[in-house]
Amino acid sequence: MAWHKQAMIEVGRTGEARFLLNDLAKQLSDAQIESPRRDANLLLQMALETDEPVLMHHEVTLDESAHQRLITLIEERKKGCPISRLRGSREFYSLTFALNDATLDPRPDSETLVDEAIKACADKSWHIADFGTGSGCLLISVLKHCQNATGVGLDIAPQSIALAARNATDNDVADRSTFLISDWDEALVSDQRFDMILSNPPYIASGDEASLSPEVRLYDPPAALYGGESGLEAYQRVMGLIANRLVKGGIALVEIGQGQEADVTKIAAQSALRPNGQFSDLAGIIRVLKFVKA
């Protein structure tokens, strides 16, 4: 039995993938999912358990297991579950990072911070900390490109720390990184200092929750998203800790929300952190602030 326009997601049918992909794309489009055709292809790949793209002219057969996987995947995606959550991983800075419920889904905006960290670090033998490491994507990406650097990732969520350590192993930087369960810097010894500190604190104002896309609002961990009523509560706590943990002349790179640059710079100034640059994401929004410890 072959695929045709009236027989779509059924077990045992074989034929050109275009009919199935068109049907999946239409379902996603009707559910107001962006990039329905791209997502349809990715969902079919996951259902078939292949890393190869499924082209329109390819012949496809769904056995019982693949059929059930596809039904589940398409229904979850229609609800707004991101492809990365369904897959359990995300590509970030040309590396692959496993995700879990305790970690943010890394997004291209954060690559701005990695770019600047790599430029600053270059070939130096710097010791780097990542406050609120999550999946470890920031620290691991920097260490991957700065072969002489070492780092410590800190996060209050045990699930995040376990996953970050796994990601470090998978990306071949485990020998130069350590991951600790910690409420910001509490797990560090009192005199431990760093040449560079990275951080992407929660910075969304709690009142802005309704404006977020379902992919963020429903699937990213709230503790990693919301920075209180103002969106600035995490900075008010962490900037002083960052200043205390930096060597003199050390660099801090922090990600911020849209329009927060003046407020975060003011908070940093209270801890003798001197502004040293603002960097925009691909949309032209100031996304990263650089500070130097005076």
The whole-number pLDDT of residue 281 equals 96
Is pLDDT above 60 for 3? no
The whole-number pLDDT of residue 11 equals 55
CB contact set of 263 (below 8 Å; sequence gap of 6+): 230, 232, 235
The whole-number pLDDT of residue 59 equals 83
Give percent of the chain above pLDDT 90.
82
- Mean confidence (pLDDT) of the chain: 92
Is pLDDT above 90 for 4? no
- Tell me the per-residue pLDDT of 112-163, one tens digit each, with 9 for 90 and over: 999 999 999 988 999 999 999 999 999 999 999 999 999 999 999 999 999 9
The whole-number pLDDT of residue 256 equals 98
Q: Record the pTM.
A: 0.90
Note every long-range contact of 202-206, with CB atoms under 8 Å and residues 24 or more positions apart, other chains counting: 202/132, 202/226, 202/227, 202/234, 203/227, 203/231, 203/232, 203/234, 203/235, 203/255, 203/256, 203/257, 203/260, 204/231, 204/257, 205/229, 205/230, 205/231, 206/231
DSSP 267: H
Cα torsion at 247, 253, 259, 265 (round to 10°)? Answer: 10
pLDDT tier at 9, thresholds 50, 70, 90: low
- Tell me the per-residue pLDDT of 58-102, one tens digit each, with 9 for 90 and over: 888 888 898 899 999 999 999 999 999 999 999 999 999 999 999
